[in-house]
Amino acid sequence: MARKAKRDLTIEQQLARGPVDLPFLALVMLLVAIGLIMVLSASFASAMYNLDPDVDTGGDPLYYFKRQFAFAVLGVVAMFIISKIDYQHFRWMSVFVLGASIVLMALVFVPYFGRSGGGALRWVKIGPIRFQPSEIAKVGVIMFFSAGLSKRSSQLGPPKKWSKRTFTGRMAARLDHIGLLELVPYGAVLLVVLGIIALQGHMSAMVLVVVAAASVLFASGISMGWFIAGGTLVGAALWFIITQTEYMTARIKIWQDPLSDLQHGGYQPWQSRIAIGSGGLLGVGLGNSQQKHLFLPEEHNDYIFSIVCEELGMVGACVIMALFALLIVRGYWLALHARDRFGTLLVVGITSLMAFQVFFNIGVVTGFLPPTGISLPFFSYGGTALAIQLAEMGMVLSVSRQIAAPKAE
């Protein structure tokens, strides 16, 4: 009976029931487990002293760990459920995910729903759940771009014929020839998303959204000329902002020399370097960090990797970075072997987003990059962010189920 039921399934349904990629799954679960251990170690002092004005821990040293663990369980369940969905459904879902993220980001400015923290208005609170809608927007942009750009070679049809008799027709033909008209809808979506995030003052989210979009555009085969032009424009904009904005100029100066303002902006990066240096080669031992005892701010969040270096040493930090590197490489391998272009673009976008988050976070805590406010995937405290990251891994695993299928457009 079971064999007959299996024969009744379509080829697509049978493919969607294939095995997930075990190396990728094992790496994700290992990083999540290590991340939970480090959140427990790094956060108990802050939770016990309850000094965060935005959070009432009740003096419970396990407060942050228990919440992170609960969201990790929720995220793992979501990952396995999503991994069983035929990823072709993510095509039509992309519009709804992107639209929902835009609506949720707009709710940030509604007094009843919007919540501030750390001097920024980036959170939405619906019932007991408090989260940053920009996390969903990153996924929405990747899904929307992947769904649209996956059609560009096989489903767009022949180039549209423009009338050469009018100036408008000739200009449209020229813009179509260089590929600008094809990019217009994606540029419009990107501008809307970035505009809302800019109003929230969430610069790190803007960077990650641009990175996610650019990675999908690059993998889809968009002309390198557009990347050169875009990179030049972004570089010029950053130079203008840094040189003409007193706040940004001060941050760059502090990044170059934390001791120049040790009592204010330079305090956190300097304490981070102390933590990393204190760990040495083998670390002071798990749970034995001194910097987490209210010396290093955000020790269980953006700067958790500093505590990793202090407690596990250079060896432990290198092992964790190696695990991230293996996960990223495996992600790109799955993208190269995906059944169709949509699967490739989807995995490239998700993997690139994670890769840049890891690079930016570790670069900041080690002093290689100026502060960006970007968290470390699977490690930094943040329940909804962790759950969304695991949901993204579920999408990758969904694509991996059809990895043995013949290539399709």
pLDDT at 234: 73
Amino acid at 20: V
Over its length of 409 residues, how does the chain's per-residue pLDDT go in tens digits? 445 544 545 555 555 667 899 999 999 999 999 999 999 999 988 888 877 777 788 888 999 999 999 999 999 999 999 999 999 999 999 999 999 999 999 888 888 777 766 556 677 887 777 788 889 999 999 999 999 988 865 444 445 555 555 545 555 455 454 455 567 788 889 889 988 888 887 778 888 999 999 999 999 887 777 778 777 877 787 677 667 666 667 777 778 788 777 777 788 888 999 999 999 999 999 999 999 988 998 899 999 999 999 999 999 999 999 999 999 999 999 999 999 999 999 999 999 999 999 999 999 999 888 887 889 999 999 888 999 999 999 999 999 998 855 555 4
| Ramachandran area for residue 221 (φ above 0: left; ψ -120 to 50: alpha; else beta) | left
- How many C-beta atoms lie closer than 10 Å to residue 88's C-beta? 20
How wide is the angle at C-alpha 383 spanned by C-alphas 400 and 197, nearest 5°?
85
Identify the three-state secondary structure at position 19: coil
Query: How far apart, in Å, are the Cα atoms of 229 and each of 142, 195, 215, 236?
Result: 21, 20, 15, 11
Amino acid at 94: S
pLDDT at 133: 87
The two three-digit tokens of residue 213, written as one number: 């979009």
pLDDT at 220: 86
pLDDT at 237: 73
Identify the three-state secondary structure at position 265: coil
The two three-digit tokens of residue 88, written as one number: 């072709």
pLDDT at 223: 73
Q: Kindly report the backbone phi and psi dihedral angles of residue 115, in degrees, each rounded to the nearest multiple of 5, phi listed first.
A: -135, 145
Q: How far is 395 from 84, CA to CA, in rounded Å?
A: 9
Which stretches of 35-131 are assigned E, i.e. beta strand? 114-117, 120-126, 129-131
- How many C-beta atoms lie closer than 10 Å to residue 262's C-beta? 14
pLDDT at 80: 95
